[in-house]
Amino acid sequence: MITLRKFHKWLGLAIGLQVLIWVTSGLIISILDHQIVAGNTTKIALPASKSLGDVGTLFPIDRLQGIPSNQFEAITLRRLGDLLVYQIDVETSKHIYNAATGEPVTITRTWAERNALASYQGKGKIVSSNRLAEGSPEAPGSKPVWRVDFDDSLATRVYVSDVDGRVLAHRNRYWKVVDFLLMLHFMDYVQEGSFNNIQIIVVGFAALWLSLFGMLLVVKGFTRRDFTWRGLTR
Amino acid sequence: MVVVDIDIIHGDHLVRPNKSALISMRSANLTDDFTLLAKTNPDASAISLTSLLGQTSYLLESNGERIPIDASSGQRSSPINARTAESLAQQYYTGTSDIIKSVLIETNPPPELGGRSLPIWRVDFDDLWQTTFYISPVTGELVTRRHALWRVFDFAWMLHIMDYDEREDVNNWILRIVSSLGFLLVVSGVWYLYFRLNLRHWFRRAS
């Protein structure tokens, strides 16, 4: 019992710092309004997409240039803003063409800014926009990606797809804080975006043992005298 | 929550990697089909040509609804029945267990569906993990899958964030109060340790 108690004490010291980090990061995350963190207060729930309307004469699909494969997963005719487009999904990529002229559509700065603005509600104005060739950790999985910055009090930045101009995410300074806190909370120091790492499993088991053995010590540590007035004021 | 890999929680191992059938760019005269469908359905917001249930099909999106049309006949494909739903589920499933039952859910979606649109086929397997596949009656695609470990994780998540109703509100007052108390507990422990180890004395000696 003495050795286990000693072990408990030292383990408590070793794990204590992470417990402090867990409790502190968890507390801050629960206090910060999740709707603001997730960008839901600046993002407009997008209205139903525009109907096709009059499509006029469509460019022949088999004459589109530059598609890496003759085999596709899907061809979609839809509106992108006011423009009627074909979206060709092949196994590894997506391609957008003007459905009237057959020219490939590239997302320009103007277009990225217009879509970002259309998805935005708030007092801010656009202060800058950049095409990030290497993508951004704030919008993983899309590269390159457009980042459009607003000058509101949240420092909102809107990420826009470079492929089809779709708004991917609204991020802000609170998101950044929570992202950092989650890294600490998950012990995900290499930022692989996962909480299934070995350090958290080990520390998690240690913390579990601490709390179970701690409960045992609490039960053993209290005596009947502790629950009397004399015991309380001792 | 951290021990079991999140991909297993998501049930990735239960699903055969789905290679959707590819369609040749030269098959039939696609542009005429698109033009005709767009002219007859000007309200549609998108028209897609894709492979559904092994058939080349058009998928119209109109007012939030998806309408599948068989590309060879031009007729609207009927929603899939229980037998098709079950045979699709078997095709997607990596296991060998039998199906216990399949039900078309049209109202009162179970919470584990997380607000996905109805109707939807629920197909239950007779395996150790109580696997459930949810299949779209319109497109036949596997919308999502659930199994015992996912359900345990979801329950643990409820305990973790202390939202005992919806299991999604991390800003609830129970959590805020309890984590504040937890914070005070840990900080008071650190404070206690400071005096207990007489660290003030040590720091003074060191400086």
Q: What is the pLDDT of residues B64-86, one digit of tens each?
A: 788 999 888 888 888 899 999 99
Provide the greatest CA pair distance for chain A: 94
Q: How confident is the model at residue B205 (pLDDT cuts 50, 70, 90)?
A: confident
Interface test with B, best of A30, A61, A97, A196 (most B CBs within 10 A): A30
Q: What is the pLDDT of residues A106-127, one digit of tens each?
A: 999 999 999 999 999 999 999 9
Q: What is the pLDDT of residues A4-61, one digit of tens each?
A: 888 888 898 889 999 999 999 999 999 999 999 999 999 997 766 788 888 888 898 8
Per CB-CB distance under 8 Å, the chain B contacts of A57 are: 35
Parse chain A into domains and list their residue ranges.
2-36+178-233, 44-105, 107-171
Dihedral class, residue B146 (left if φ above 0, else alpha if ψ from -120 to 50, else beta): beta
| Alpha carbon distances (Å) from A90 to A36, A59, A72, A98, B98 | 37, 19, 4, 17, 35
CB A69 within 8 A of CB A91: yes
Identity of the residue numbered A67: I
Cβ-based contacts under 8 A for chains A and B? 131
Taking the CA of residue B59 as centre, how many other CA atoms within 13 Å lie in the half-sphere pointing to its CB? Answer: 20
Per CB-CB distance under 8 Å, the chain A contacts of B179 are: 23, 26-27, 30
CB B77 within 8 A of CB B52: yes
Structure tokens given for A103: 């020219």
Inter-chain contact B46–A75, Cβ cutoff 8 Å? no
Parse chain B into domains and list their residue ranges.
6-17+81-152, 171-207
Taking the CA of residue A166 as centre, how many other CA atoms within 13 Å lie in the half-sphere pointing to its CB? Answer: 11
Tell me which of B20 and A145 has the higher pLDDT.
Answer: A145
* Structure confidence at residue A171 (pLDDT): 97
What is the average pLDDT across A69-94? 88
Q: Which of A23, A48, A195 is nearest residue B183 as measured by Cβ atoms?
A: A23
Mean pLDDT in chain A?
90
CB A24 within 8 A of CB B40: no
Closest CA to A171 of A149, A193, A187, A188: A149
Residue A211 has pLDDT above 80, yes or no: yes
Inter-chain contact A16–B46, Cβ cutoff 8 Å? no
Inter-chain contact A201–B183, Cβ cutoff 8 Å? no
CATH class belonging to A107-171 = alpha beta
CB B175 within 8 A of CB B163: yes
Per-residue DSSP letter, A164: T
Closest CA to A20 of B192, B180, B183: B183
